[in-house]
Amino acid sequence: MFLRAIALHAIALLLVAVNGEWNTKDYMKREHSLMKPYQGSGMTVPFWDFMGSTMVTSNYVRITPDLQSAQGSLWNTVPCNVRNWELQVHLKIHGKGKDLFGDGMAIWYAKDRMVPGPVFGNMDYHHGLAVIIDTYSNHNGPHNHQHPYISAMINNGTLHYDHDRDGTHTQLAGCEAKMRNVDHDTYIAIRYENDILSVSTDMENKAAWKECFSVRGIRLPTGYYFGITAATGDLTDTHDVLSVRLFELDTPNDVKDEDRSHIIPQASFFEPPRDHVDDPKPSSLGGVKMFLLMMVGAIAIIACVVFSIMFYQKHQENNRKRFY
């Protein structure tokens, strides 16, 4: 019995040592994280700024309500100087729309913060990384995926995000994500480690990560900001954030010594874009003109029918007169 107790104690110490080693490698950075309770003193949120339609409650941070033409954002106030990291976001997208809804939200690691714009509530031609959750398909060409769709984009300030092509000409990779109007929690994890960008999801209530995509050859500078934005247009949805957690990953000493504060964001790989198909040009006729044209056409058709009936009756009458 005494020997068994010693053995169990030794195993426990070994487990503690192993867990301790894991915890030293990956640990959460509080200054880049957001958890309940969100608010500090007054209406402020420690380490975070928000603007636009964003509303902070006790249970969630609502980036946009289910209303038209809404834009909101939530930005970390502290630049991230961690070389290798993993960002885990607990979010929820829901709304009253059954078949038509939008537009979507994006998670950013960007040089500039709090600059509203046309890319899901953030500026175009940004510097850094965007992971986009696009809930509405604008692309008119053939699709090889359904929406909602998660994709990533690396920008050095020169690339334009084309909504008409759903960003396909600048995306690194992507995957479908059935996460809208589900009854369980939904999570997305963005991992950047040793120049490899990986995005994983937990959308099926399995408490396990499922890889969305992984891309090598990604170079990101340190000192950028994390942010989350969302936008609606004619179509609407509610975009909520429930928590944000950033974990610092273990980095080899030789990698830590490299100064990446001034490098330019770049990627060695892009997916080939799909061909763009322009929208059909609207008719030059206005609504009133179109109505009048249809009415004239209907009258002409009715007149033709009446004339045909009268001609047929006259022809029948002439035939009967021949027999008398």
* Domains in the chain with CATH codes: 23-253 (2.60.120.200)
Q: Which of 196-200, 213-217, 271-275, 277-281 has the lowest average pLDDT?
A: 277-281
What residues have CB less than 8 Å from 30, skipping those under 6 apart? 47
Mean pLDDT on 174-197: 93
Tell me the pLDDT band of 19, cut-offs 50, 70 and 90. very low
pTM to 2 decimal places = 0.75
Mean pLDDT on 213-217: 95
Cα distance between residue 277 and residue 268, in whole Å:
27
| 87: β partners | 190, 246
Predicted local confidence at residue 139, as pLDDT: 62
Mean pLDDT on 35-46: 81
Q: 23 pLDDT exceeds 60?
A: no
Predicted local confidence at residue 13, as pLDDT: 44
Q: Is 22 exposed, middle or buried (0-12, 13-18, 19+ CB in 10 A)?
A: exposed
How many beta carbons lie within 10 A of that of residue 192, not counting itself?
Answer: 20
Predicted local confidence at residue 21, as pLDDT: 39
Mean pLDDT on 268-273: 65
Mean pLDDT on 241-254: 88
Element (H, E) at 267: strand 266-267
Predicted local confidence at residue 214, as pLDDT: 96
**For residues 196 and 185, is the Cβ–Cβ distance under 8 A?**
no
Q: 22 pLDDT exceeds 80?
A: no
Burial per residue of 216-239, b for 16 or more beta-carbon CB atoms within 10 angstroms, e otherwise: eebebbbebbbbbbbbbeeebbbb
Q: Which of 6-20, 100-114, 193-207, 247-261 has the lowest average pLDDT?
A: 6-20
Q: Where is pLDDT greater, at 311 or 205?
A: 205
Beta strands in 9-148 (DSSP E): 27-28, 48-52, 55-56, 61-64, 71-76, 85-94, 104-110, 127-134
Q: 275 pLDDT exceeds 60?
A: no
Predicted local confidence at residue 223, as pLDDT: 97
Q: 52 pLDDT exceeds 90?
A: yes
Predicted local confidence at residue 225, as pLDDT: 98
Q: 6 pLDDT exceeds 50?
A: no
Predicted local confidence at residue 130, as pLDDT: 96
Tell me the pLDDT band of 46, cut-offs 50, 70 and 90. very high
Mean pLDDT on 90-104: 89
Cα distance between residue 180 and residue 111, in whole Å:
30
Tell me the pLDDT band of 20, cut-offs 50, 70 and 90. very low
Mean pLDDT of the chain: 83
Q: Which of 195-209, 269-283, 309-323 has the lowest average pLDDT?
A: 269-283
Q: 314 pLDDT exceeds 90?
A: no
CA dihedral 222, 225, 226, 231 (to 10 degrees): -140
How many beta carbons lie within 10 A of that of residue 175, not counting itself?
Answer: 15
Predicted local confidence at residue 15, as pLDDT: 41
